[in-house]
Amino acid sequence: MSEGTSMVMESSENGTDLSQDDNGTIVEMPEDTILSQQTSVNLVPFIGQRFVSQDAAYEFYCSFAKQCGFSIRRHRTRGKDGIGRGVTRRDFTCHRGGYPQMKLSEDGKMQRNRKSSRCGCRAYMRIVKRADFNVPEWRVTAFSNIHNHELLKANEVCLLPAYCTITPDDKARICMFAKAGMSVRQMLRLMELEKGIKLGCLPFTEIDVRNLLQSFRNVNRDNDPIDLIAMCKKLKDENPNFQYDFKLDGHNRLEHIAWTYASSVQLYVSFGDAVVFDTTHRLDAYDMLLGVWVGVDNHGMTTFFGCVLLRDENIQSFSWGLKTFLGFMKGKAPQTLLTDQNMWLKEAIAIEMPETKHAFSICHIISKFSDWFSVLLGSRYDDWKSDFYRLYGLELLEEFEEEWREMIDKYGLHDNKHIISLYALRTFWALPFLRPYFFAGLTSLCQSETTTTFIQRILSAQSRLDRFVEQVAEVVEFNDRAGSKQKQPRKSQKVCLKTGSPIESHAATVLTPYAFGKLQEELLLAPQYASFVVDEGCFEVKHHTQMDGGCKVICVLCEEQISCSCHHFEFSGILCRHVLRVLSSNNCFHIPDPYLPSRWRLNSSSSINPLSNATREHSEKIQLLESLTSALIAESIETKERLDVACEQTAMVLSHIKDLPRTTQTANDIVYNCPSDLILPEVEDTDGIVQSFTMGTSHEPLTSGKLKDRRPRDGIDITRKRRHYSDSCCGHFEHDSSDCPMMEGDNLNGDALGYI
């Protein structure tokens, strides 16, 4: 056994053992085991060490392992539920951990195909996802550097497959040498001389170079782009709404290609206001930059807008990609665009999308902090990062400028080039400068991680470039299906009311669960703030513990004019706690319609538009009708008799409205943003009683149990009979508009029913 460092500690919530495979386990060591740094490695993993992502932790542990004389592999994940919290725990183990698996031959006998290096090594590092300062981080919770095998020397460890990597620059030179007719050995010797290193000390071997050249021969895309373009043409023939464009260079080589799908164009109409353009990945086998346009829908789920492959990374290439994307989307540029910190892309966006607010993704900036500041600041690094997070989330520009100077003085970073660059570009990443613009929550690290996960699925589709477009279509289709499955049950799911506020009850029937959850967070915090009248329609709102400061709120309800100096509504589309406090103090029992954006509503789609200017005069009556409807539902579900009367009288009112003469401005011209179906979310009050906002003729009393626990009626399982129909009806589970008893005999249709 090697002389190394060892330490194993585990948090109580993840106290399971590390099982490397079915045949090998690692037994946890006592928590009081002390870490003794008996190694020459400069940076040793330690309990409590923080990383911005799994990849950052993997890279750090990989560097540590290389210096020690072994390599690592990703092993086990915990908490992977697909949606929800996602992956919350990850284990990295020694490449010799676990034991080889025996395989069955055709005759059923156990056999080994080749000798395995696995010997049950117990060295590993465990990271767990935590939230610190409301920012997700990965912390080391367990670490063991005990090996049951000899560690390799420096000149041997570089030969491990994990470290035999070829950089893009080296790939380009190898490709050039191959075209010049050089042998592999000549290539290696020449590169050794160029780099000034000893014979055999390159980070890759002759076999790696031969495998790379073979992949070039198999792909051979430099001179043969026909297959990829043919695939796009095939998809275009199958669906005329599929769009693509490409560019060839002077040598008939594919230089750029971009494409989007019909569903993506439709989604962009509704959710293309805030877009992420990720250009941080490459298709290494083809030496092309991959750019992906994504956004977020009204349920907080990632939506795909388009893809681009660029041969070069410069202003001209990015300009071509942006211009092509605008062409796909009929010239509609996003309001805000989030990218990584790429200066060429920054210049291209300023040229092609001058009206779009461009910002840098904070997760890409934070991912560089460990390299920039960990060694420089040493033990003060965690304190500095906490101060940076606080500065990043401030609301006022004056506060940011003042506290930034204090932070620089505190840590002595006046001459640091990274700090100077961050401050020069502060308008692109600091929230005080971005809050006046709508980003739909895309700036959060949690949403960035979701976006990265989706892009990783796209990267996994690069097995063959000629089928890449088709395989990306399969990934997008799978994502759309998964999103539909998640949204479907949400239409009738239980929504817990936590404040008892009429504003909360009203919002629960209008907003999607995702958006309602964001609003509910602000509602819960609103009572902690005090509201003071400064002038007519002007209020000062501050936390009850504050003596000075606060936010300035303008609230003129008769003119539907609401604003707050924190710009939370402009930034997220959700009213802030300050405005909600003022609304409550002024006896306002529902949120004005313009401040429940159609983007976050249950029925948000490309066919739903806000009230037009021609019908703004009807907005007050529509809001009154909405309030009456909510009251009608709340009162009707108290008893069976009330529900019967409500259904009967409502049917009569609808019939009477249908008989009224139509003017030149039909009812369809007045578009009202409300749920398209009549099965509204169940609402649970704080006393635990479930109120199901469902209009129908059911005489069955509602209980506090779940829908699936309801007893069948007349031998029919209600939960299995519930279906979603395209035609609106009364909302009863066992029928649609074709045989609806409320509509029968009155010649009513779905358009006449409207919103009940």
**Which pair of tokens denotes residue 65?**
């392992």
State CA 529 to chain mean position distance: 31
Mean pLDDT of 667-694: 39
3-state DSSP assignment of residue 392:
helix
Are 125 and 54 within 8 A, CB to CB?
Answer: no
Give just the sign of the alpha carbon dihedral 736, 742, 744, 750.
negative
3-state DSSP assignment of residue 128:
strand
Residue 204 burial class via C-beta count within 10 angstroms: exposed 0-12, middle 13-18, buried 19 and up: buried
Phi and psi at 533, nearest 5°, equal: -80, 120
Q: Which of 558, 431, 443, 567 is nearest to 579 (CA)?
A: 567
What pLDDT band is residue 687 in, cutting at 50, 70 and 90? very low
For the chain, percent of residues with pLDDT exceeding 70: 70
Are 35 and 7 within 8 A, CB to CB?
Answer: yes
Q: Which of 661, 432, 704 is nearest to 566 (CA)?
A: 432
Calpha distance 607→697 (Å, rounded): 30
Calpha distance 460→468 (Å, rounded): 10
In which order are the strands placed within the sheet that holds 254-260?
243-248, 254-260, 302-310, 288-296, 274-283, 336-339, 357-360
What pLDDT band is residue 409 in, cutting at 50, 70 and 90? very high
Calpha distance 705→106 (Å, rounded): 54
Calpha distance 54→37 (Å, rounded): 24
State CA 654 to chain mean position distance: 43
Domains of the chain: 42-99+116-158 (no CATH), 168-221 (no CATH), 223-361+474-481 (3.30.420), 502-600 (no CATH)
**Residue 439: its H or E element:** none
Q: What is the pLDDT of residues 569-619, one digit of tens each?
A: 999 999 999 999 999 888 888 898 899 999 999 875 543 333 334 344 565
In which order are the strands placed within the sheet that holds 690-694?
494-496, 679-684, 690-694
Task: Identify the pLDDT of residue 104.
Answer: 58
3-state DSSP assignment of residue 528:
helix
b or e along 348-362 (b: 16 or more beta carbons within 10 Å of the residue's beta carbon)? Answer: bbeebbeebbbbbbb
Are 62 and 162 within 8 A, CB to CB?
Answer: yes
Q: What is the pLDDT of residues 335-391, one digit of tens each?
A: 999 999 899 999 999 999 999 999 999 988 888 888 888 888 888 988 999 899 899
Is the model's pLDDT at 423 over the cut of 90?
Answer: yes
Cβ-proximal residues to 706 (8 Å cutoff; 6+ apart), any chain: 494
3-state DSSP assignment of residue 325:
helix
Are 39 and 5 within 8 A, CB to CB?
Answer: yes
**Higher per-residue pLDDT: 699 or 98:** 98
∠ CA 10-15-20, nearest 5°, is: 90
Helix axes 206-219, 184-195, angle to 10 degrees: 120
Calpha distance 235→469 (Å, rounded): 9
Q: What is the pLDDT of residues 522-535, one digit of tens each?
A: 999 999 999 999 98
Are 359 and 337 within 8 A, CB to CB?
Answer: yes
What pLDDT band is residue 216 in, cutting at 50, 70 and 90? low
Lowest mean per-residue pLDDT among 28-37, 38-47, 442-451, 477-486: 28-37
Are 10 and 141 within 8 A, CB to CB?
Answer: yes
Are 138 and 445 within 8 A, CB to CB?
Answer: no
Task: Identify the pLDDT of residue 662.
Answer: 66
Lowest mean per-residue pLDDT among 82-91, 250-259, 708-717: 708-717
The full 3-state SS of 54-117, as one line of letters, equals: HHHHHHHHHHHHHHHCCCEEEEEEECCCCCCCCCCEEEEEECCCCCCCCEECCCCCEECCCCCC
**Which pair of tokens denotes residue 750?**
């779905």
Cβ-proximal residues to 643 (8 Å cutoff; 6+ apart), any chain: 636, 637, 698, 699
Place of tokens 């300062």: 133
**Higher per-residue pLDDT: 467 or 194:** 194
Calpha distance 642→656 (Å, rounded): 21
What pLDDT band is residue 33 in, cutting at 50, 70 and 90? very low
**Which pair of tokens denotes residue 190?**
């020449």
